């Protein structure tokens, strides 16, 4: 086989153009009826009261932090093993990301570490459902309540876990607010996009403003009602709403999420079966978790990680690193001067991990080729 094995292939079809066409014909391109109806679908999918579509996870998170009233020097606890966006959104509000190490096996934020870092300034904790895994948020919430009477928001970063369940419950069940990404390589995609779900009426009321410049009338109400509506602005907002043009791509994908999740599970298990008799390590899932499966990360000796990565690239296999520990990026390293001893698991995983091509459309021949080349690379460099 000589053809390139892409790192990712989306599941949109040429016929999806008809969905976009319908929006174009309606003359309302931005957030309107289509987004409204998709939000209703999401609320019923997750069995929550409120859903809001956003134009990215990042902007949705900024809107969320603004809605929570996060201010300068407020502290938000996040795992060091995550995508930098999680820390960036906190920095953008001049608040302080409090990075903590992750569990050695699951790479999920550690409850023990969280409890150590909670103090009077702690306003929120961001749980990142890395690779589609989840943690027991109910247990965590009870432990936090024993430690402090202060309200601490629990935010779930569900960019990897749209389809995940823990003990039969979807994401969003036990957190204050859950944020999704529909970025180009995510399981559901609108090229750029995301969503926020919550059961908190107060937060939702504020989110309606913070996703829209902080103003009180949304887009369709301002422009398309018969009579012009004056608006007020009382709290600071960003611009995070998703246009109907993109929202139109979601309903069809929603119908297939569990079908595609099961396909990814099959692909996941095949990789694992074929690679498990090597020196490679894999992340473990929490007991009771039915993962949504996003990404296929492996862990090799950090000394040869880049050699393997570039060997696979040379053999036309798309690979990435998900992720380098946030503590290793210059901006954060210089600003916070971390003590590496406190981030051993995150930094070690980040220096030895690489992600293999992983998506429902990868075929057996391509997967076998990737497996063959990974094992060849290990033999060559170990
Ligand atoms: C993709 C991703 C984000 C950022 O999503 P955008 O929609 O690109 O802003 C945040 N967190 C995690 C874990 C991600 O994988």
Pairwise CA distance, residues 302 & 343, whole Å:
16
The residues, ordered by sequence, that sit 6+ positions from 114 with a Cβ below 8 Å of its Cβ are 77, 100, 125, 140, 144
Nearest alpha-carbon partner for 33 in 47, 18, 55, 53: 53
**What's the gap in Å between 277 CA and the centre of ligand 1?**
32
Whether the CB-CB separation of 243 and 28 falls below 8 Å is answered with no
| Distance (Å, whole) CA 92 – CA 205 | 22
Query: Which residues, 6+ apart, have CB-to-CB distance to 52 below 8 Å?
Result: 39, 60, 195, 196, 197, 204, 207, 208, 211, 241
Measured from the CA of 181, which atom of ligand 1 is nearest?
7
Output DSSP code: residue 342: G
Question: What CA dihedral angle connects 59, 178, 255 and 130, to 10 degrees?
Answer: 90
- Of all protein residues, the one whose alpha carbon is nearest to atom 2 of ligand 1 is 159
Residue ranges of E strands in the chain: 50-54, 75-79, 96-100, 122-128, 153-157, 165-166, 169-170, 177-181, 194-198, 289-290, 296-299, 353-356
Out of 83, 108, 180, 297, mutate this one to test ligand 1's pocket (max ligand atoms within 8 Å of CB): namely 83
Secondary structure (3-state) at 250: helix
Measure 160 CA to ligand 1 centroid, in angstroms: 8
Q: List, as one string, the DSSP characters of 273-315.
A: HHHTTSS-B-PPPPTTEE-----EEEE--HHHHHHHHHHHHHT
Cα diameter, the chain: 72
The neighbouring-strand residues paired with 5 are 317
CA-closest residue to ligand 1 atom 5: 57
Dihedral, CA atoms, 54, 56, 57, 63, nearest 10 degrees? Answer: -50
Residues 225/226/228/234 CA torsion (nearest 10 deg): -30
Report pTM: 0.97
d(CA 7, CA 277): 24
**Pick from 78, 116, 108: which is nearest to 95 by CA?**
78
Out of 7, 53, 57, mutate this one to test ligand 1's pocket (max ligand atoms within 8 Å of CB): namely: 57
Residue 184's CB is within 10 A of a number of other CB atoms, namely 12
Residue 58 alpha carbon, nearest atom of ligand 1: 9
Cα–Cα distance, 197 to 68 (Å, whole number): 14
Output the tens digit of pLDDT for each of the chain's 382 residues: 668 999 999 999 999 999 999 999 998 899 999 999 999 999 999 999 999 999 999 999 999 999 999 999 999 999 999 999 999 999 999 999 999 999 999 999 999 999 999 999 999 999 999 999 999 999 999 999 999 999 999 999 999 999 999 999 999 999 999 999 999 999 999 999 999 999 999 999 999 999 999 997 666 666 666 778 788 899 999 999 999 999 999 999 999 999 999 999 999 999 999 999 999 999 999 999 999 999 999 999 999 999 999 999 999 999 999 999 999 999 999 999 999 899 999 999 999 999 999 999 999 999 999 999 999 999 999 9
State the pLDDT at residue 32. 92
Query: Which of 183, 188, 196 to mutate for ligand 1's pocket (most ligand atoms within 8 Å of CB)?
Result: 183
Tokens linked to 54: 């956003």
Nearest to 85 by CA among 106, 111, 59: 59
| Residue of 7, 58, 88 to test ligand 1 pocket, by largest number of atoms within 8 Å of CB | 58
Q: List b or e across 43-73, with b for residues whose CB sees 16 or more CB atoms inside 10 angstroms.
A: beebebebbbbbbbbbbbbbbbbbbbebeee
Residues with CB under 6 A from ligand 1: 56-58, 82-83, 85-86, 128, 157, 159-160, 181, 183, 194
CA distances to 21, 24, 229 from 226, rounded to whole Å, are: 25, 20, 9
């Amino acid at each position: 086989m000589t053809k390139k094995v892409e790192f990712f292939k989306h599941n949109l079809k040429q016929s999806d153009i008809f969905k976009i066409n319908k929006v174009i014909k309606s003359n309302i391109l931005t957030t309107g009826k289509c987004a409204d109806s998709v939000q209703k679908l999401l609320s019923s999918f997750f069995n929550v009261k409120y859903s809001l579509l956003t134009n990215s996870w990042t902007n949705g998170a900024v809107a969320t932090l603004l809605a929570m009233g996060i201010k300068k020097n407020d502290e938000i606890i996040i795992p060091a093993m995550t995508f930098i966006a999680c820390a960036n959104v906190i920095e953008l509000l001049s608040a302080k990301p409090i990075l903590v190490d992750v569990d050695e096996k699951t790479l999920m934020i550690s409850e023990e570490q969280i409890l150590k870092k909670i103090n009077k300034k702690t306003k929120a904790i961001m749980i990142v459902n890395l690779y589609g895994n989840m943690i027991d948020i109910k247990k965590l919430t009870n432990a936090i309540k024993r430690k402090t009477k202060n309200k601490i928001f629990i935010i779930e970063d569900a960019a990897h876990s749209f389809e995940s369940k823990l003990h039969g419950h979807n994401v969003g069940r036990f957190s204050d607010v859950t944020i999704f990404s529909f970025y180009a390589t995510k399981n559901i995609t609108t090229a750029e996009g995301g969503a926020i779900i919550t059961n908190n009426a107060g937060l939702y009321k504020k989110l309606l403003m913070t996703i829209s410049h902080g103003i009180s009338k949304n887009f369709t109400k301002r422009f398309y009602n018969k009579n012009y509506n004056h608006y007020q602005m009382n709290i600071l907002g960003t611009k995070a709403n998703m246009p109907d043009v993109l929202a139109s791509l979601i309903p069809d994908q929603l119908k297939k999420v569990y079908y595609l999740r099961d396909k990814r599970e099959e692909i996941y298990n095949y990789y694992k079966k074929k690679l498990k008799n090597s020196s490679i390590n894999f992340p473990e899932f929490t007991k009771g978790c039915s993962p949504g499966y996003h990404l296929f990360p492996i862990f090799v000796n950090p000394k040869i990680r880049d050699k393997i990565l570039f060997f696979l690239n040379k053999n036309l296999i798309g690979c990435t690193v998900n992720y380098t520990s946030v503590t290793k990026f210059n901006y954060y390293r210089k600003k916070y001067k971390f003590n590496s001893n406190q981030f051993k698991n995150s930094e070690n995983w980040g220096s030895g991990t690489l992600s293999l091509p992983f998506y429902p459309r990868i075929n057996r021949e391509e997967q076998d080729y990737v497996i063959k080349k990974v094992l060849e690379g290990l033999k060559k460099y170990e």
